[in-house]
Amino acid sequence: MPEWSEKYAIGVESVDREHEGLFSVISKIEEAVRVNKNTAWTAEQAILYLQRYVVRHFEDEEALMRSVGYDGYERHKGIHDGMRERVLPRLQQRLAADGYTPETVEQLLRICKKWLARHILGHDLEIAKWVPKKAPPKEGSQRKTAGSDDHLSHLLHPGGRRVSRSRPWL
């Protein structure tokens, strides 16, 4: 079973932390199911937690793709949609039908982990190529209306509108 390692790092800290978290959550559920074989309720809650984690992570990753203008966005989102709307619900239906047996839970976790590993290497790493090229170097500073970075933005865009309220250089 694949575990998180540096080869999965795409170089965007927030995404890498979530990927690492996903590997870790899956491993923890695997361990819990292995240690305690009679925990259908725990397994059900854990899988629900994992599902919510995956969905939130997809949303974060899709926001990143949009923010950098990634040209493979639609295709990549389509892969997320397939997992989110078809594969996960189907796997969950099977788990519910089987009563969350340890064997079925382990099988689902194996599928999720392998999918995750392949998806990061095959698709998420592609997004990383766009990050330094397309992302503005100081994205956060551009949202400030009046602050310490305004004079810098004025210097970088001399033709732009001057923010009269803020003159930190005076």
**What residues make contact with Fe ion under the rule CB under 5 A?**
61, 124
Rounded Cα gap, residues 146 and 17, in angstroms: 32
Q: Tell the smallest beta-carbon distance from residue 56 to Fe ion (Å).
A: 13
Q: Tell the smallest beta-carbon distance from residue 165 to Fe ion (Å).
A: 41
Nearer to Fe ion, 61 or 150 (CB): 61
Q: Tell the smallest beta-carbon distance from residue 106 to Fe ion (Å).
A: 24
Nearer to Fe ion, 7 or 94 (CB): 7
Q: Report the SS3 class of residue 149.
A: coil
The sign of the CA dihedral 159, 160, 164, 169 is negative
Nearer to Fe ion, 16 or 61 (CB): 61
Rounded Cα gap, residues 102 and 19, in angstroms: 24
Rounded Cα gap, residues 73 and 76, in angstroms: 5
